[in-house]
Structure 1
Amino acid sequence: MLMCHYPVSSDAGSVLCGAGDPLWAIKLSLMGYLCEISNPIMNWRWWLIQTLEKNRLDFAVVNVVLVSTFAARAVLLVYLLVFKFGLRIMEFIEMKQVFIFFIGMLGHFVILLLTLYWLKVLCRGAPKSWLVFTPPPNRKKDGGFTFGNDMGRNKSKTS
C-alpha cells in the first residue's frame, strides 16, 4: 500500500503545499532540513558537558561551531520567511490556499522564535563560556550522570 500511495500522495501534497508548484515545496523542505545540522552538534556538546573533567580544545571548537550553526539557522529561517514564502503570497491567494500559506508561515515563524531564544541562551556568558569548560556544580565525582540531575532534580531523596 505504501508503494502505491507514496508516489501519488507526495506529488499531490507538494502541489497543494506549493500553490501548484510541487518543486517549490520540495526545495523549501530541503532547505528547511538544513536547520537540523545543529542537532548532532548540540548532542555532542551535551555529552562533553556530562563527561569532561577538565577543559579541552574540542569543547571550545564544538561550542563555536554550535553557535555558528544556530546563527546560520536564524538567517536561513528569515530568508525562507521573507523570500521563499512572503514573495509568493499572491500565488497562494490565486490558488485559494491562504490557510496553507499562513500555516507554513506560522510554523517557520515559531521555529525562528525558538531558534532565536536558544541562540540567546547559548550566547549567555560568551565568549568565555564557549571557550572554557567549567564542570556543573551538581555533577557526581565519578563522572556519571543522570537525566534527573540534568533537570535539577535529585537522584534520590535519602539524606
Structure 2
Amino acid sequence: MKFTIRNGRKARSLAATIFLGSGLCALGIQHAAATEPHLEKAIQDGKALYIHETFSGNGKTCQTCHDNGGVGAGKLPNGAAIPSLSNAAAIFPRFSPKVNKVIALEDQIRGCIAGGLQGKPPAYGSEQLTQLVSYVTSLSQGKPLDMGGKPQ
C-alpha cells in the first residue's frame, strides 16, 4: 500500500489522526484492563484491607505507616521515613539482605504484616493476600519494570 501526500496540510492532518488514534487505542487498552470487574473488585477489596485490617495484630493497619493509600511517603512508628509503594510491584522480585534471599511482593507484604503490624499474615494463595497484592500492584500501574530497583 502506498500513500501519497500532496501538501503539508494533509501531512499534518494525517499525523494528527495517527497520533490521536494511537493515544485513544492506548487509553482503551489501559481502560479495559482497569475496568475488568473481577480485577477491579480485588483491587477495591485489597484497598479496604490495606486501610482497615489489623490482621489480629497491634491495632495498626498498612495505612498506619504507608500514608495516603501507599502513594505518599510514609513513616515508621519511630518516625523514620519510608518510601511510597507507588512502584512496589515494579521492583519485585528483589534481593532482601535482611533475610538473605530473593523475595516476591507476596513475601514483602506478609513480612510487613508479621513485623510491622505484629499480625497474622494471610496465607500464600489466599484471597486476602491476592487482594492486597492486587491493590499494591495497582499503585504501580504505568511504572517501568525495575526488578531489584529502589522504592520511590
Which protein is richer in helix relative to its size? 1
TM-score normalised by the chain length of structure 2: 0.27
The two structures have a TM-score, normalised by structure 1, of 0.26
Q: Which has the higher strand share?
A: 2
